[in-house]
Structures are given as structure tokens and as C-alpha cells.
Amino acid sequence: MGLADIHMHTIFSYDGTATVPAVLQRASQVGLDLIAITDHDEIRGALQAEQLASKFNIQVIPGVEITTAEGDLLALSIRKIIPAGLSLIETIHRVGEQGGFCVAPHPGATGFGMKSLNAYSIYRALRDRDAERILIGIETYNATTLDRAGNHAAGIWAGRLSIAQTGSSDAHVLDAIGLGATIFPGSTSDDLLIALRTGTTQVKKGPEWSATRVLGKWFAQYLLSAPAHLGISLA
């Protein structure tokens, strides 16, 4: 069985704190087979990770966490940026044009600036014949969300919509990588895609952090990463 964490951030996200090499090293250390770098409306870190992956004995799916008009969307297996602010269905179609696929992250979760899709938006997208082939998963366990009730609701929605479930860390600090993960038959990105399409994924839940720990670790690491953020903004 393979283990994937397909929602995490690097310093290429405005709220990320870790460099790409550090993320790859940590992911390998905690035993992940596959990761996706999904920075906010930014793909440079994901493409860099894809190039460096073999040095860390890990597989990388390039991706983006896109800010759609209706909430955040994980776009995976894409290599060109898709504009923020489009409708959910239009965004999904554009991901499909690149041969990618989508997962709805932390749906329904609120608080601390989160921009989440609601149940109606997801349902409407799944009724679109083309979008339904591309939006193939719902994140039902987000390890670092402050809204634990959102995880429970997402699980209910996934069951009612008969869509694959994923677990992810949504890591913004190194220590959080792998706290949530997706178990799937096989070990490659192709195997993960098959598992999502056939609904054979399983969710792995790691130790839950308190809200104080989530915010405290992020704030401390964000301060330390400020010079790296400045370097990226000037690049």
C-alpha cells in the first residue's frame, strides 16, 4: 500500500514556512511515498519539487491550491498556473485541459481566513458531466484545520456524493507533514489516480494538534522564514 500527503505548502505560499528541499526531506523521513506541493495560486515550488524529487527518493505530483470564486480547490498534475477567481466549474475544466485532476480541500471548514467550498458548490460541480470526471476526491481529514467539525461534515458529504476520500496534512510547517495522509493500493501517482477514481482510498489520521499548537508552531516558523519570503518576492 502507498502513502500520500497531497496537500502541503512551501515558502512559495504567502503563509508557508519551509523551503522545497526541506519539505522533500521531511516527507521522505516520515515514510511518505508520494506528495503534492499545493501552494496558494503559485506553482513554482511544485515544479521545483518535481525536479528535485529523485534526490530524496520520493514522488511529487505538481499542483496548486487555487482560490476559486467559491472557495479553495486542489488542482493536481498540472504544470501551468490557472488564474484565481474563476468559478469552480470553470477552474475544474481548465485543470482537465491540462490532464489534471481535482480534490476539494477542507470543504465547509471556517475560521482563520479559510476559503472553503460548500456542499452545494461541490454537488453542482459533480452534476456537470465534464467536471465530474476531474473533481474526484474530497479531503475528509485535514490534520491542521482549526475547524474539526469541518472534517466530520466532509466525511458525511463524501459518503452521500459517493466520491473518494483523502487525508492530508495541509502542512504549513515541516513538523506537520504526514500528520494526515491517504492510503492507496500501489505506490505510484498513477496508482493513486486509479484509487481515487475507483473510490478505494483510505484516510490515515495522525496525532491531532491543538489549535494552540497549530498556530504557535506556524507563527514561530513564519517569523524565521521571513527572509526567504522576501527573497522570493524579489526574485
In CATH, what number is assigned to the domain containing residue 229? 3.20.20.140
pLDDT tens digits for 32-48?
999 999 999 999 999 99
Return the C-alpha cell found at 221. Answer: 516558523
What's the predicted TM-score (pTM) here? 0.95
Inform me whether the pLDDT recorded for 223 exceeds 90. Answer: no
pLDDT at 149: 83
State the cell numbers at 70. Answer: 467559491
Containing structural domain, residue 23: 2-234
pLDDT tens profile 70-114: 999 999 999 999 999 999 999 999 999 999 999 999 998 887 778
d(CA 116, CA 70): 7
The domain total for the chain is 1
Whether residue 56 contacts residue 24, with contact meaning beta carbons closer than 8 Å, is answered with yes
Task: Say which residue the cell 491542521 belongs to.
Answer: 144
- Bridge-based pairing state of the strands 180-184 and 202-205: antiparallel
Three cell numbers, residue 226: 521571513
Q: How many CB atoms lie within 10 A of CB 152?
A: 13
Tell me if 39 sits within 8 A of 6, measured CB to CB. Answer: no
Average pLDDT of the residues of the chain: 94
Q: Cα dist. 135→73, 169, 179 in Å?
A: 9, 20, 24
CB 195 within 8 A of CB 186: yes
pLDDT per position as a tens digit, 132-166: 999 999 999 999 998 888 899 899 999 999 999 99
How far, in Å, CA of 192 to CA of 102, rounded?
A: 13
* For range 63-70, the mean pLDDT: 98
Is the separation of the CB atoms in 32 and 206 below 8 Å? no
Checking if the pLDDT of 235 tops 70, the result is no
Cell 474563476 locates to: 86
